[in-house]
């Protein structure tokens, strides 16, 4: 059951936000960060289930799919997705505004009534995952096991948590992209050095040397980087 926010609860909210901030700046993997965010939110607010949905823009049209949940119920955590015009999550992602449901069984937009009955879910708050430029990348859901009218304080807390989750997701994506770019640059440097070795050793042109590396990569089923590294190592022998 959701607790009414008082001074002690406010302190718990602040501590929860601090814990989440530390998690975001830690070395944890994104999946672990998101699970921690969901667990902390559920614990401090007293909700039954928290879940996080992300928009997938690689599909045409885009869809929104379940990414993480703190519940261990197999029915809830199974892979599933909805169109951007479907369900409460689609509505929130499209309107970019929080949406509160006092009874999910009475809400026409809510698509998972059988699951709600089985798990005993009643009220729901759904808020958008927003980043600085006001782009929505997903939706954060909280469910209670009893009828509950979410207070303004609770909505603000959960929206703040959702925005922190969005920041963690974007930061991780940027780090991955940066790592990929760095690896690509390192591979290019290795290939260029390997080409110079072949040019000097075999009297090949730059283009011929690169084709030789490509063929060697295909014949040995090794990456161009691995072949280039082997060429450079052989030069040191």
- 160 or 132: which leads in pLDDT: 160
Q: Are residues 118 and 195 in the same domain?
A: no
* Pair type for strands 99-101 and 49-56: unpaired
Note whether 79 and 129 are within 8 A (CB): no
pLDDT the model gives residue 161: 82
Q: Are residues 112 and 198 in the same domain?
A: no
pLDDT at 5: 52
Q: 47 and 127 share a domain?
A: yes
Highest-pLDDT range among 70-84, 159-173, 183-197: 183-197
25 part of a folded domain: yes
Q: Are residues 148 and 33 in the same domain?
A: yes
User: Do 87 and 110 fall into the same domain?
Assistant: yes
Phi-psi region of 134 (alpha: psi -120 to 50; beta: other; left: phi over 0): left
Q: Are residues 205 and 99 in the same domain?
A: no
Whether residue 79 lies inside any domain: the answer is yes
Q: Report yes or no on 1 lying in a domain.
A: no
Closest CA to 145 of 100, 88, 107, 104: 104
Q: What is the pLDDT confidence band of residue 103, given thresholds at 50, 70 and 90?
A: very high
pLDDT at 170 over 70: yes
Residue 105 maps to a domain: yes
pLDDT, residue 38, reads 85
What pLDDT is stored for residue 44 in this prediction?
A: 79
E-only strand ranges, the chain: 49-56, 63-69, 81-83, 99-101, 124-130, 136-143
Among 133, 132, 137, 127, residue whose Cα is nearest residue 62: 137
The string of pLDDT tens digits covering residues 81-100 is: 889 989 999 999 999 999 99
Examine the fold and report which residue of 129, 146, 175 is the final residue of a domain before the chain moves on: 175
The verdict on 102 and 219 lying in the same domain is no
Please give the pLDDT value at position 182.
76
Convert the pLDDT of each residue in 16-70 to its tens digit. 777 777 766 665 677 777 888 888 888 878 888 888 999 998 888 999 998 888 7
Q: Which domain holds residue 183?
A: 178-236
Judge whether 2 lies within some domain. Answer: no
Averaged pLDDT score across all residues of the chain: 83
Shared domain check, 79 and 95: yes
Q: Do 92 and 135 belong together in one domain?
A: yes
Q: How many domains does the chain have?
A: 2
The domain boundary residue, chosen from 175, 204, 226? 175
CATH number, domain with residue 211: 1.10.10.10
Residues 24 and 95 both lie in one domain: yes
Q: Is the pLDDT of residue 1 over 60?
A: no
**Pairing state of beta strands 136-143 and 124-130?**
antiparallel
CATH number for position 46: 3.30.450.40
33 and 139 inside one domain: yes
Residue 141 and residue 50 in contact, taking contact as beta carbons nearer than 8 Å = yes
């Amino acid at each position: 059951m959701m607790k009414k926010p008082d001074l002690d609860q406010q302190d718990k909210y602040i501590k929860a936000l601090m814990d989440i901030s530390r998690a975001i700046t830690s070395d944890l993997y994104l999946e672990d960060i998101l699970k921690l965010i969901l667990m902390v939110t559920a614990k401090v607010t007293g909700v039954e289930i928290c879940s996080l949905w992300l928009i997938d823009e690689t599909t045409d049209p885009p869809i929104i799919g379940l990414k993480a949940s703190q519940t261990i119920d197999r029915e809830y955590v199974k892979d599933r997705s909805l169109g951007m015009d479907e369900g409460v999550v689609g509505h929130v992602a499209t309107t970019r505004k929080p949406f509160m449901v006092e009874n999910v069984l009475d809400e026409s937009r809510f698509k998972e009534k059988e699951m709600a009955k089985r798990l005993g879910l009643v009220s729901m708050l759904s808020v958008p995952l927003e980043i600085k430029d006001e782009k929505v990348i997903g939706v954060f859901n909280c469910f209670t096991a009893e009828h509950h009218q979410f207070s303004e304080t609770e909505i603000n807390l959960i929206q703040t948590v959702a925005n922190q989750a969005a920041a963690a997701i974007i930061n991780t994506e940027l780090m991955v992209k940066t790592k990929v770019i760095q690896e690509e640059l390192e591979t290019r440097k290795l290939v260029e050095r390997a080409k110079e070795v072949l040019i000097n050793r075999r009297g090949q042109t730059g283009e011929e040397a690169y084709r030789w590396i490509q063929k060697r990569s295909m014949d040995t089923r090794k990456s161009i980087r691995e072949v280039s590294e082997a060429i450079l190592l052989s030069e040191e022998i």
